[in-house]
Amino acid sequence: MPEMQAPPQIQPRGPNDYLEVMSKVVFQSGMSYKIVESKWPGTQAAFHGFDAAKVAGMTPFDIDQLTQDTRVIRNRRKLESVVSNAQRLLELDSEFGGFQKYLRSHGDFQALVKDLRKQFKFLGDMGCYYYLYVVGEEVPPHEEWQASLKK
C-alpha cells in the first residue's frame, strides 16, 4: 500500500484563499479526493474563483442552479455550507482584523479545532487538521494527533 503524502501547503493571501481550502475540505468530507479533484476546476468556476464576497452573496436560487450543474458535486447541503462558511469567514475576518488573526487567537490546537467546528459547517476533526495544515498553521505531528483521537 503506497504511503500517503502530505498535501501541499499554501501561504494564504486573504479570505479567498482560506475559503477555497475550506471548501475543498467540505467537498472531501465522505468522498474520494479523486472525485473532488476531478470536479475542482468546475467548482472554482461555479463559486466565482472563491471570491469570498461573491460567494457570501450567493442566493438560494444560485444554489438551486448549482444542484443542476454537472461541473460540481451536487450535494445541496455542501453547496449551501460553502456560502454559509464564506459569510462566517468574512465576519470573523472583519471582527479580528484578518482571518489568520482569528485562527491564531485560540490558546492551542484543540481549542482552535473546537471553535472551527462550531463556527463552520462540514468541518470535522480530520477536516480541521487538513485545513490548518494546508493554510500553514501549526498542527501537531500527524501520528501524535491521530493517537490523541483514540483516547
Mean pLDDT of the chain: 93
Is the pLDDT at 4 greater than 90, yes or no?
A: no
pLDDT value for 150? 75
pLDDT digits 0-9 by tens, 28-66: 999 988 999 999 999 999 999 999 999 999 999 999 999
In CATH, what number does 15-149 get? 1.10.340.30
User: Where do the domains of the chain lie?
Assistant: 15-149
The pLDDT assigned to 151 comes to 66
pTM of the full predicted structure? Answer: 0.93
Assign residue 75 a region (left: φ > 0; alpha: ψ between -120 and 50; beta: otherwise): beta
